[in-house]
Amino acid sequence: MAMTALRREGRRFLLSPIPPNPSTAARSTMLSESTAYEMRWFLIVSLGDDLISGEVPKSNIHRKNHGRSRRSFVFVCSFFVNAGDLSLLGIRSISTQVVRNRMKSVKNIQKITKAMKMVAASKLRAVQLRTENSRGLWQPFTALLGDTPSVDVKKNVIVTITSDKGLCGGINSTSVKISKSLYKLTSGPEKETKYVLLGEKGKVQMVRDSKNSIEMTITEVQKNPVNYTQVSVLADDILKNVEYDALRIIFNKFHSVVSFIPTISTILSPEVVERESESGGKLGDLDSYEIEGGETKAEVLQNLAEFQFSCVLYNAVLENACSELGARMSAMDSSSRNAGEMLDRLTLTYNRTRQASITTELIEIISGASALTG
């Protein structure tokens, strides 16, 4: 009999207007939207278990999940028990506990995202300084060898730089989209294009459909602050393991805290440089340069290509790191703002519910009193 009463009560709360799903406005930028609700789910199951056995739970919070399967019934029970100031046997009162719980979790999420924004802002300041200092590094190479993104070669290697951590807006998806379009651009008869992926997020997205074209993946580049030695070792690794005629590095260039420009830097292998300089065009006046040092021109050009790759890669990694932090800042900022708006709406609902329950109680009392006297 008690069980049916509980079930009846629970069904009333289940029909209450607030569904336990986060609104879609905050979905894309909120920290794993299920965390707050998963914790409550375990709480719910454990409460339900105790309720069924007839004991009143002493501490609600740190209980293990028993994994019982009577989920629906248990879910129903939780709303009932959480309705604060009630006894176990069904005095009706509209509950504000649900709204209050949601408000608490939304406020926590807002605090977390604000903190993440501050952390990203402070990291950005440090990395931005180093990025701006490294911007002079690739300019001499472009001044000498020009910029030839439309070069036609047989073996292309696309080096995509992405981040390891998420919650940074859409920059990784942009880089991946551009890599895929570049792959289509550079593919053709007798040509082959391969990927080298830096960063966990790029790897995850590419593995889904282009698994066979991925030559190497490198993750945890940003674990320690990036310095030139580390990047040059990385560049050496890449150059040893892939054959290439042209390397194309795709990254997000840091323009400002709110704007990141996807960029492609092209590096040609020494043989292609020779070929292009002989045929004229952009590299035509490379022949007029005298070569000092090394035994042959080919050796110097080889060293030049490798050095160029490591310098451009260093700059690209730094720029991408800056862009990632900037994107994370703006994503967390909009997330906090959405959480704030959600909190405002919930507060209104809370007050309405509270006032309605007070009014209902008053009406019941007064009508009861008038029934006695009248």
Partner 1 sequence: MYRQAPRLLIRALDGGRGGRLIGRAFSTGVPVAPVEDSAFVEAWKKVAPNLEPPKTPLSFMKPRPPTPSSIPSKLTVNFVLPYQSEISNKEVDMVIVPATTGQMGVLPGHVATIAELKPGLLSVHDGNEVTKYFVSSGFAFIHANSIADIVAVEAVPVDRIDPSLVQKGLADFTQKLSSATTDLEKAEAQIGVDVHSALNAALTG
Q: Which residues bind partner 1 (CB under 8 A)?
A: 130, 133-144, 146-150, 177-178, 181, 184-185, 227-228, 232, 250, 253, 261-266, 285, 288-294, 300, 303-304, 307, 311, 314
Q: Which is nearer to partner 1, 133 or 241 (CB)?
A: 133
Let me know: does 161 contact 317? Beta carbons within 8 Å: yes
Residue 20 CA from chain centroid, whole number: 23
- In whole angstroms, the minimum distance from the beta carbon of 135 to partner 1 comes to 8
- In whole angstroms, the minimum distance from the beta carbon of 131 to partner 1 comes to 10
Q: Which amino acid is at 360?
A: T
- In whole angstroms, the minimum distance from the beta carbon of 164 to partner 1 comes to 22
State the Cα–Cα distance between residues 90 and 111, nearest whole angstrom. 37
- In whole angstroms, the minimum distance from the beta carbon of 101 to partner 1 comes to 43
Residue bearing tokens 């945890």? 220
- In whole angstroms, the minimum distance from the beta carbon of 181 to partner 1 comes to 4
The CB density around residue 269, as the number of other CB atoms within 10 Å, is: 22
Q: Which amino acid is at 339?
A: A
Q: Which is nearer to partner 1, 130 or 155 (CB)?
A: 130
Q: Which is nearer to partner 1, 147 or 220 (CB)?
A: 147
What is each CA distance from 129 to 122, 168, 228, 254, in whole angstroms? 12, 20, 15, 12
- In whole angstroms, the minimum distance from the beta carbon of 43 to partner 1 comes to 46
- In whole angstroms, the minimum distance from the beta carbon of 326 to partner 1 comes to 17
Question: Residue 264 burial by CB count (10 A; 0-12/13-18/19+): exposed, middle or buried?
Answer: middle
Rg (the chain; Cα; Å): 31
Q: Which is nearer to partner 1, 106 or 197 (CB)?
A: 197
Q: Which is nearer to partner 1, 193 or 335 (CB)?
A: 193
Tell which residue, 82, 65, 103, 89, has the closest CA to residue 14. Answer: 82
Let me know: does 141 contact 311? Beta carbons within 8 Å: yes
Q: Which is nearer to partner 1, 179 or 336 (CB)?
A: 179
Q: Which is nearer to partner 1, 57 or 146 (CB)?
A: 146
Per-residue buried b or exposed e for 191-229, using 16+ beta carbons within 10 Å of the residue's own CB: eebbbbbbbbbbbebbeeebeeebbebbeebbeeebeee
